[in-house]
Amino acid sequence: MARKVILDVDPGIDDAVAMCMAMFDPRLEVVAVTATAGNVSADQATRNVQAIVEQLDPPRWPRIGEAREPDQGRPVNSRHLFGGDGLGNSFFQVAELHNRHPSDKVICDEIRAAPDEVTLIALGPLTNIASAFRRDPEVVSLVGQIHIMGGALACGDVTPAAEFNMYCDAEAARNVLRSPTTKTLIPLDVTRQIVMTYDQLDELPDETTAVGRLLRSILPHAFRSYRMNLGLEGIHLNDAVALVAALHPELFQTETMAGDVETSGELTTGATIFDRRPAPEWRGNIDVAIDVDVAGVIDAIIRGLSKTS
């Protein structure tokens, strides 16, 4: 039976790539895609989720959750990498969505409908997940696993200390990391090792397929912006790597750690802090990916995208 997953995303080009993989993977039943603010505003994130689903027209349409701005969010975005609309300035048209439901309510509904069966794959700030746990505290004990793209052991991206998803809503990130749930963290230290190069575009589905058309609409912008802003001849697909970690855990080495999130440091807000003292006093609360089969993951991403046609 297909594994039930909820994708919580802030599309974002790398979120979009993960959505392409997940919604056509026969091993997964994407019961919902819930939008969260981050790379783009809450409203734009919701529009982007709907636009991607409409462009892809997957075999099974997921429920769509509507994002809201975080209570204590920070005014950052990723337009320098993903463009003004978050999807390479594709500015996809979207049909008006009727009976929209808030993302946190959709998360609670779907977890209650399948206790212990749903894997939450968090690819954006953790606003919705923390909000879902506040909205319905029993959901904490009913959710299956939580896979989180976020955090950093060595150095951040949005600041020297913090990774973007943790930084955007550090309070939410702290609450989720402190929750008594089964969590796996795929940090920048691992996701940054995977770089898609321009020549690998040729290995992706062509424009006769919906996925091929979407990827060719959004990825060229990412290649240009990564070169201009980061001096990189290729792009990071952080969220696609996190999805592969849920599908192919054998490609990752993890270590159980005791982690928390700084919420008030002048220089360190959003930093993920781990107690790795010789005699740690914090209790282990999360499995953290510390090494990865780079070639295996890039192959899994390209194969995952190629299976969609």
DSSP single-letter state for residue 203: G
The crossing angle, in degrees rounded to 10, of helices 13-23 and 238-247 is 30
Phi and psi dihedrals of 280, rounded to 5?
-60, 145
12 binds ligand RIB (CB under 6 A): yes
With 0-12 CB in 10 A as exposed, 13-18 as middle and 19+ as buried, what is 69? middle
Which of 44, 181, 238, 269 contacts ligand RIB by CB under 6 A?
Answer: 238
* The entry of ligand RIB, Ca ion, none that residue 163 binds, CB within 5 to 8 Å by partner kind: ligand RIB
Q: Which tokens go with 201?
A: 């575009």
Closest distance between Ca ion and the C-beta of residue 244, in Å? 15
The single residue listed with the structure tokens 């919420």 is 263
151 binds Ca ion (CB under 5 A): no
Tally the residues of the chain. 309
End-to-end CA distance of the chain: 22
Which of 124, 187, 205, 304 contacts ligand RIB by CB under 6 A?
Answer: 124
292 binds Ca ion (CB under 5 A): no
Q: Which tokens go with 27?
A: 């091993």
Nearer to ligand RIB among residue 123 and residue 172 (C-beta): 123
List binders of ligand RIB among 16-45 (CB under 6 A).
38-39
Kindly indicate which of the ranges 75-83, 123-131, 155-163, 178-186 contains the residues binding Ca ion, using the contact rule CB under 5 A: 123-131
In sequence order, which ranges of the chain are alpha helices (DSSP H)? 13-23, 42-56, 79-82, 103-113, 127-135, 139-142, 164-168, 170-177, 188-191, 210-230, 238-247, 294-306
* The entry of Ca ion, ligand RIB, none that residue 245 binds, CB within 5 to 8 Å by partner kind: none
104 binds Ca ion (CB under 5 A): no
Nearer to Ca ion among residue 10 and residue 258 (C-beta): 10
Residues of this chain that interact with ligand RIB (CB under 6 A) are 10, 12, 14-15, 38-39, 123-124, 149, 157, 163-165, 238-239
